[in-house]
């Protein structure tokens, strides 16, 4: 689940919880809205945890070392130690 989907679930859940006033038998639409907000929040947290593998939350600066050949390599702060 991506960040956009998580935010969408949070928004739909908030609308169902706070803006919809419906009396139904068998299920409570407000409870479903709370569940959707919780699932969206959990998805947002998991997406933020894995953001590092997509290029976000870098722990150091990245520079590209060009040694004159056709190949280039990325040097991170961990490589310089």
State the number of CA atoms in the 13 A half-sphere of 32 facing the CB: 12
Q: Residue 81: inside a domain, yes or no?
A: no
Q: pLDDT, tens digit, for every residue of 15-67?
A: 999 998 888 888 888 999 999 999 999 999 998 888 766 555 555 555 555 66
Q: Quote the CA–CA distance of 36 and 42 in Å, as a whole number.
A: 10
Quick check: is 65 in a domain? yes
What pLDDT score was predicted for residue 53?
Answer: 63
SS3 73: strand
Number of domains in the chain: 1
DSSP letter at 59 equals S
At residue 60, the pLDDT reads 56
Residue 18's domain comprises 3-76
Do the domain assignments include residue 27?
yes
Quote the Cα angle for 29-4-53, to 5°: 130
């Amino acid at each position: 689940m991506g960040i956009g989907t998580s935010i969408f679930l949070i928004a739909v859940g908030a609308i169902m919880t706070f803006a919809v006033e419906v009396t139904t038998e068998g299920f409570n639409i407000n409870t479903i809205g709370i569940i959707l907000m919780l699932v969206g929040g959990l998805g947002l947290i998991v997406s933020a945890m894995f953001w590092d593998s997509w290029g976000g939350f870098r722990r150091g600066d990245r520079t590209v070392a060009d040694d004159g050949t056709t190949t280039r390599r990325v040097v991170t702060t961990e490589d310089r130690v």
